[in-house]
Amino acid sequence: MNKELFKQAFKEKQLRLSHPRFLVYQELSGTEIPLSPQELYQGLLKKHRRIGLTSIYRSLDLFESLGIVFKIASGPSIRYKLCGLQNHHHHIVCEGCGRIEEFDFCDISSWVKKLAESTGYQVTDHQFNFAGLCRSCKKNT
């Protein structure tokens, strides 16, 4: 996600883009690999950026709720990656190398209809995360 789209997401939700939030965004935008809150903190410290770990956690929680980052939980480890797509999308994570791909096709209308009919719920949102092996890792197995 480029800087202008990032700023626009805050403006649309009438949220304040504080300096700590922007620092977290900058650190995430400078890497292709998912980072833990502690890795973000250490990276910012090395660059002499003063920010508290609590501010990092709060920023990441907000970013996740806005769809700006993707949260990857693997056992006790939690990492975050900046999303490249701004609209509704999903992710697939390689279980071998950790590579993450984003995709924006999502044709689940028949599932939603069946779910609504069988439960009586009005479905308003959904989240899917997929895992598997990328082409490279699949070749090496």
pLDDT digits (tens, 9 = 90+) for 26-41: 999 999 889 999 999 9
Kindly state whether residues 74 and 105 are assigned to the same domain.
Answer: no
Q: What is the mean pLDDT of residues 40-45?
A: 96
Kindly state whether residues 94 and 129 are assigned to the same domain.
Answer: yes
Kindly state whether residues 74 and 104 are assigned to the same domain.
Answer: no
Name which of 92, 91, 94 is nearest 140 in CA terms. Answer: 94
Amino acid at 20: P
Kindly state whether residues 8 and 28 are assigned to the same domain.
Answer: yes
Q: CB under 8 Å to 91, separation ≥6 — which residues?
A: 70, 100, 101, 102, 103, 129, 130
Domain assignment of residue 66, given as a range: 3-82
CATH number at residue 110: 3.30.1490.190
pLDDT of residue 63: 95
User: What is the pTM (predicted TM-score) of this model?
Assistant: 0.75
pLDDT digits (tens, 9 = 90+) for 60-119: 999 998 889 988 887 788 999 988 766 777 788 888 888 888 788 778 888 889 999 999
Kindly state whether residues 135 and 113 are assigned to the same domain.
Answer: yes
Kindly state whether residues 130 and 62 are assigned to the same domain.
Answer: no
Residue 101, token pair as written in the block: 């791909």
